[in-house]
Amino acid sequence: MKIRRGISRGIAHFGWSSASILLFFFFIYLSGPPLAAQDVSKTLSTNICAIASHPERFDGKIVRLKARVGLWLEVFGITDPRSECKNSFWLTYPHEADTIRPEPRITRIPVELRKDEQFELFEKYLDAKMYPRFQETHCFCKRYEVVATLTGRVDVASEVQRGFGHLSGWKVQFVLQSVSNVTPIDLSVQYDPTEYSTEPVEPQPKQWRKPTAKSR
């Protein structure tokens, strides 16, 4: 604000010469937002493999990508939907995102999660589960994985930080902003239908087969 007031006084005193006009726009350029912040604010279309190859180029950027999403015991992650690379990123919501340690040198754009119909569908499929038919069965039985287009911020762990997520096992976390093109992948075919159901059931005691009393 002080710089702009000073420029106004100079222009009024010297008149609108070409030099004054150039000086005016030069200082407006310097007093505007940094170029890095302007570039970061753009949404980049990319993929998981590209980010994994050069994570430093995407750190703090808002990107859009297609991913396969898996929610398992202590794991919430995304992978390349075509398995063109084996890398995986920790997926998180803004209010649950791990902070960068130490404080990052770049300004990270705040991300607000868009809880629209696509997001509700996304969570519906991720929360769906298979139902054991017997009481003795214990498992984290997910019904679906999801392939979707995700938009969000890429955070890369600092040199002194182990990583993100469970046991700090991921170098990159993806802070979700919005989701679209939700496509479920049904995992029920991987379960034994005599042991699991796609619909809620009342678990029954399992009748283990006892050896017969017959002799050899």
Quick check: is 204 in a domain? no
Residues 83 and 101 in one domain: yes
Residues 64 and 94 in one domain: yes
Residues 9 and 115 in one domain: no
Domain residues for the domain of 92 are 35-197
- Residue closest to 179 by CA, chosen among 152, 153, 150, 144: 150
Quick check: is 41 in a domain? yes
Quick check: is 186 in a domain? yes
46-55, 79-88, 155-164, 206-215: which range is least confident on average?
206-215
Residues 12 and 91 in one domain: no
Residues 26 and 99 in one domain: no
Residues 126 and 19 in one domain: no
Number of structural domains in the chain:
2
Instruction: Please report which confidence band the pLDDT of residue 38 belongs to, taking 50, 70 and 90 as the band edges.
Output: very low
Supply angle C-alpha 173, 130, 179, rounded to 5: 35
101 and 65 in contact (C-beta within 8 Å)?
no
Residues 91 and 19 in one domain: no
Reported as a single tens digit per residue, the pLDDT across 58-111 is: 999 999 999 999 888 788 999 999 999 999 999 999 999 999 888 777 888 999
Quick check: is 159 in a domain? yes
- Residue closest to 69 by CA, chosen among 192, 179, 196, 199: 179
38 and 62 in contact (C-beta within 8 Å)?
no
What is the DSSP code (8-state) at residue 71?
E
